[in-house]
């Protein structure tokens, strides 16, 4: 079990809070919507934050941070269910990673339907039970690398998106896949409060990325239904891309001819590209992407190109300038 150095330095704010959060707070202050107390909001509050900054007891760390019986293909242990479900970005609820689980506790994740349409020959609307029954569920232990500079190892449960897309039969004109998350201000407080965000959350992939076997539609975590805090009941996992590409609470999948707009690329295109492949050689405008902090480990570790999945996915980008097409 990996321990935590009690003297380890605290995470720098530039590594845990992207510019859009700072900008959001300034805009909220300008509109009189955010009090001075909120200026202290960070990603390191609470018990998991204490573990990150070295104030937790090491006896607690061993049982809370990792589950070494589950490992990725590089041999790294999976983070525990508790950590994964309690430390997460989900801005529809809050900007505070450790408040998500509490605020999402009563989210209504069932019944749930997802529509798959657009440039397809066989448009369909599935409910969650259809997806679980029709497509064999398999465990995939993937690394997740956040653009903010932290990472986890997560044992997802789900099925390749390609299986669903093959069933609806994309036409020859379909070049991209657009994903749309739930819009429900009654359940998502920030869809009502942060109105300058272009809700609902949208994301997109090139169709060959979407059809790649690594691209997973996720229905669960650790063999259990997906927690509300992690995007229940249906989310995407694209392990070679930064985590914000793995959209949560999907209600629509649309095959389209043109590159779709995505939420973060719309908000800050100079920081969040359409592709957003993990690339340690291309720094974020305000911090390096060369290293990352694995939640539960001391210090930092080098970030791998394509998050360590280069052998599987690098051919998708042959001939592309990965520094320009970020």
Tokens of residue 44, six digits: 């390191």
pLDDT at residue 5, rounded to an integer: 33
What would the mean pLDDT of 235-253 be, rounded to a whole number?
98
| Residue 49 pLDDT level (bands cut at 50, 70, 90) | low
What would the mean pLDDT of 121-141 be, rounded to a whole number?
96
| Residue 34 pLDDT level (bands cut at 50, 70, 90) | very low
Q: What are the C-alpha distances in Å from 153 to residues 7, 45, 150, 192?
A: 24, 21, 11, 32
pLDDT tens for each residue of 174-206: 999 999 999 999 999 999 999 999 999 999 999
pLDDT at residue 226, rounded to an integer: 98
pLDDT higher than 60, residue 251: yes
Percentage of the chain modeled with pLDDT above 90: 80
What would the mean pLDDT of 201-230 be, rounded to a whole number?
98
β-strand 250-256 against 176-181: which pairing, if any? Answer: antiparallel
Q: Give 195 or 13, the one with higher predicted confidence.
A: 195
Hey, CA dihedral for 237, 114, 200, 162, is it positive or negative? positive
pLDDT higher than 80, residue 325: yes
Taking the whole predicted model, whether its pTM rises above 0.75 is answered as yes
What would the mean pLDDT of 38-48 be, rounded to a whole number?
37
Which of 17-31, 87-101, 235-249 has the weakest average pLDDT? 17-31
pLDDT at residue 51, rounded to an integer: 52
The helix-helix angle for 46-53 and 58-65 (nearest 10°) equals 110
Tokens of residue 37, six digits: 């107390």
pLDDT at residue 308, rounded to an integer: 98
β-strand 77-79 against 202-206: which pairing, if any? Answer: unpaired
What would the mean pLDDT of 146-172 be, rounded to a whole number?
98
Domains of the chain: 13-314 (3.90.420.10)
Look over the chain and give the mean of its residue pLDDT values, rounded to a whole number: 86
Hey, CA dihedral for 194, 199, 204, 210, is it positive or negative? positive
pLDDT higher than 60, residue 220: yes
Hey, CA dihedral for 177, 212, 78, 289, is it positive or negative? negative
C-alpha to C-alpha distance for 248 and 179, rounded to whole angstroms: 9
Query: How many residues are present in the chain?
Result: 326
pLDDT at residue 64, rounded to an integer: 85
C-alpha to C-alpha distance for 203 and 160, rounded to whole angstroms: 17
Which of 154-158, 169-173, 295-299, 309-313 has the weakest average pLDDT? 295-299
Which of 24-33, 81-90, 124-133, 261-270 has the weakest average pLDDT? 24-33
Q: What is the 3-state secondary structure (H, E, C) of the chain?
A: CCCCCCCCCCCCHHHHCCHHHHHHHHHHHHCCCCCHHHHHCCCCCHHHHHHHHCCCCHHHHHHHHEEEEEECCCCCEEECHHHHHHCCCECCCECCHHHHHHHCCCCCCCCCEEEEEECECCCEEEEHHHHHHHCCCEEEEEEEECCCCEEEEEEEEEEEHHHHHHHHCECCCCCEEEEEECCCCCCCHHHHHCCCCCCCCEEEEEHHHHCCCCCEEEEEECCEECCHHHCCCCEEECCCECHHHCCCCEEEEEEECCCCCCHHHHHCCCCCCCCCECCCCCCECCECCCEEEECCCCCCEECCHHHHCHHHHHHHHCCCCCCCCC
What would the mean pLDDT of 287-305 be, rounded to a whole number?
97
pLDDT higher than 90, residue 18: no
C-alpha to C-alpha distance for 177 and 179, rounded to whole angstroms: 7
């Amino acid at each position: 079990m990996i321990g935590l150095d009690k003297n380890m330095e605290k995470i720098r704010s530039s590594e845990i809070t992207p510019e859009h959060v700072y900008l959001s707070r300034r805009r909220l202050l300008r509109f009189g919507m955010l009090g001075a107390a909120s200026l202290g909001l960070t990603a390191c509050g609470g018990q998991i934050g204490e573990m990150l900054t070295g104030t937790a007891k090491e006896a607690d760390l061993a049982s809370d941070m990792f589950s070494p019986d589950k490992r990725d293909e590089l041999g790294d242990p999976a983070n525990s269910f508790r950590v994964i479900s309690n430390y997460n970005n989900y801005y529809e609820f809050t900007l505070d990673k450790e408040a998500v689980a509490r605020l999402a506790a009563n989210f209504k994740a069932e019944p749930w339907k997802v529509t798959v349409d657009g440039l397809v020959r066989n448009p369909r609307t599935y409910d969650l039970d259809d997806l679980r029954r029709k497509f064999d569920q398999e465990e995939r232990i993937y690394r997740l690398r956040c653009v903010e500079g932290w990472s986890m190892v997560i044992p997802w449960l789900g099925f390749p998106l390609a299986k669903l897309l093959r069933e609806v039969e994309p036409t020859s004109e379909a070049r991209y896949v657009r994903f749309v998350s739930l819009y429900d201000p009654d359940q998502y407080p920030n869809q009502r409060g942060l109105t300058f965000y272009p809700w609902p959350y949208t994301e997109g992939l090139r169709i060959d990325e979407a059809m790649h076997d690594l691209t997973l539609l996720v229905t669960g975590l650790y063999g259990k239904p997906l927690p509300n805090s992690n995007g229940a009941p249906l989310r995407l996992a694209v392990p070679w891309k930064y985590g914000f590409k793995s959209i949560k609470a999907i209600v629509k999948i649309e095959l389209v001819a043109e590159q779709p707009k995505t939420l973060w690329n719309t908000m800050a295109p100079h920081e969040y590209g359409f592709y957003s492949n993990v690339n340690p050689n291309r720094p974020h405008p305000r911090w390096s992407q060369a290293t990352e902090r694995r939640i539960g480990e001391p210090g930092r570790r080098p970030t791998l190109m394509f998050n360590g999945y280069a052998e599987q996915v690098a051919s998708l980008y042959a001939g592309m300038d990965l520094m320009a097409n970020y």
